[in-house]
A and B are shown apart, each in its own frame.
Chain A
Amino acid sequence: MKKLTIYLFVVLLGVLSACNSFENDEVVTMDTTEQSTRSASDFEPSPIPSGAPLIYPAYYGGAYVKDKQLVILISGNPQLYREEFVKRCGSEDIVLEKCEYSYVSLLNQTDKIHEYVKNGNTQGIVGFGIKEDKNMIEIRLKDLNENTVKELQTKTGSSNMFFFTQGEEIKTEQAVAVNSGIEIINPRGYSSTLGYRVMYNGKKCQTLAGHSFNVGDYVYLPSSLYGICVDQEFYGSVDAAIVEVYSTYEPTNNIAYTGMTVSPTMQAAPVGGYVNLYGKTSGNLLGTVTNTNFAGYVEGQFMNGIVEVHYTPNSNDGDSGGLVYSSNGFTNYTTGTHIGRIPNTNYSYYTKFQNIATVFGATRY
């Protein structure tokens, strides 16, 4: 047993010394991109997961390529670090230049500008970033004038690291089409279904579950911010909210994953009539209307004038806000939006779309 332990210890030492091969690296020729990547990536301690931020030493000021040669900026005496960077880059073909600001201090300043912009103080800033060849931070303004520059220098700490240029906002080439029936998330992380597209106060919007959103709430797709909730009702005959969609998105009349569309024409369903529900969890369900003027408590809130439907199987968690539509076999008509269900029964409830249109002054398009 003792022999085995010694053997394992020797093997472990061998593996460790083999891994620590940095000092034995031979100097080879490689292109500037690889040199640059290596010069920065070598600052990352190897045991930290790849997602960990790079840790730059205080003497590193950044790097850029000039005349096909990698230039590394040093905050201090460059000669002191030449040997180290030759090893890091694996090449002699590099230039070390003295600079004023370390890369860490430049990053700290960009963080401050980010915080400043995030807090709503855009001051016409359309972009900013480190310009490594200048060893400074470029701040791009939509309207470049002396007053704005002075105001920004004062409010952001009057940093000499900044220089200002004029620029335009980045615009996407094409709005992303978003279908109804997909998952939508409120700021508390609760998930429901994205409803119909509507025009509200002349703006392109979409309906949501009213019990899940408050006015002013950000509305999220699973991977991005989608818009802001501008109106909400969870009372009387209406459980719905309106999201004003950001300009980078274009709502459609398509139902997600089905290849079907829903006409903006509204149609009420009678008792005994069939309706379909499309919810993000259940997909498409077919049900029979059992009451067109139901009154009852929805999570403690008294509601009336809502419609009761018998679905088999019943709706599920996450279907709130889903599309309720009726069909004549050729066309799907806008009928309502899904509210919820009585557990352990087959009864679910929806808000009539006509009531949503009346209460919000919204129109389907």
Chain B
Amino acid sequence: MRWLFFICISCFVLPIGCTYKQNEKEVVPSFSDNRNNSERKELSDDIRLETYVNSLDIRMELVDSIFSVCPDTIEMNIINNSDYKLLSNLKYSLKHFESGNWKVVSLLENTIWPDVEMFVEPQSRRSFNVDLFLNLKPGRYQIEKEFSIVIPTIKRSTNNIRIILSDEFMIN
């Protein structure tokens, strides 16, 4: 009877000991846990940064958005109501609305783009002409252009924060 009591106590104490050790591991985080925490923090920083960037009043507006034939150039205004300078280049990309989905116009993907730099000063708007050197068929299109936001005080600012601006046009 005394043995039975001893075995019962042992069975009760041993699992508690094991549980205690597991808890100890959680209290002292391992290297991989540190890395996970750091990644989580970076992710949260990225989300905050994205939210901040999206809150800035930076937008693209096409001067004309309905064309009877495919135009040679498209004039766009970049409105930068932020306090940061925007940098870009001549590159743009196009998407065509087909069967309910936006599909990338692949002809632009292997184009060599001249390494010219253009900018939009803070609190200003600037007009750009984009050469449409493709013969686009009638339909609904989206033009996208990437800009770098020069935010010198933001952490990890060696690479500027990038933002893609877009607007739609129709060719009838």
A interface vs B, CB < 8 Å? 188-192, 209, 211-212, 239, 279, 281, 296-301, 303, 315-320, 322, 338-343, 348-349
Contacts and interface: CB of A to CB of B under 8 A. Distances in A.
A281 B89 CA distance: 12
Nearest to A340: B114
B110 interface: yes
Contact of A340 (B87, B113, B131): B113
A317 B111 contact: no
A71 to B, nearest CB: 45
A189 B131 CA distance: 17
B49 to A, nearest CB: 22
Contacts of A338: 115
Contacts of B118: 188-191
B116 A297 contact: no
Interface of B: 87-91, 110-119, 126, 131, 133-134
5 contacts: A281-B115, A299-B111, A300-B111, A317-B115, A339-B115
Given A191-B118, A297-B110, A298-B113, 6 more contacts: A189-B126, A191-B116, A297-B112, A297-B133, A317-B117, A340-B114
Contacts of A192: 115-117
B131 A191 contact: no
List of 10 A-B pairs having minimum Cβ-Cβ separation, nearest first: A300-B133, A318-B117, A340-B114, A317-B117, A317-B89, A320-B115, A319-B115, A191-B117, A298-B112, A211-B114
B126 to A, nearest CB: 8
A339 B131 contact: no
A289 B117 CA distance: 24
Nearest to B111: A297
Nearest to A191: B117
A301 B133 CA distance: 8
B117 to A, nearest CB: 4
B19 to A, nearest CB: 52
Contacts of A279: 115
A244 to B, nearest CB: 21
A143 B89 CA distance: 49
A349 B89 CA distance: 16
B85 to A, nearest CB: 12
Nearest to B127: A188
Contacts of B113: 298-299, 340-343
A304 B133 CA distance: 18
Nearest to A349: B112
A181 B99 CA distance: 49
A322 B116 CA distance: 11
A342 B116 contact: no
A212 B91 CA distance: 14
Contacts of A342: 110-113
Given A317-B87, A343-B91, A299 B115 contact: no
Contact of A190 (B110, B111, B117, B131): B117
A118 B71 CA distance: 37
Contact of B133 (A188, A191, A299, A320): A299
Contacts of A188: 118
Pick from A298, A300, A342, A343 the residue with the most CB of B within 10 Å.
A343
A347 to B, nearest CB: 8
Contact of B112 (A190, A191, A299, A319): A299
Contacts of B88: 317
A296 B126 CA distance: 31
B115 A316 contact: yes
Nearest to B126: A189
A296 B110 contact: yes
Nearest to A234: B114
A209 B115 CA distance: 9
A343 B146 CA distance: 12
A319 B114 CA distance: 9
Pick from B90, B113, B114 the residue with the most CB of A within 10 Å.
B114
Contacts of A301: 133
B134 to A, nearest CB: 8
Nearest to A183: B117
B24 to A, nearest CB: 46
Contacts of A315: 115
Given A317-B87, A317-B88, A343-B91, A299 B114 contact: yes
A279 B134 CA distance: 29
A320 B119 contact: no
B119 A189 contact: yes
A299 B131 contact: yes
A356 to B, nearest CB: 16
Contact of B131 (A300, A303, A318): A300
A281 B91 CA distance: 17
Contacts of B89: 317
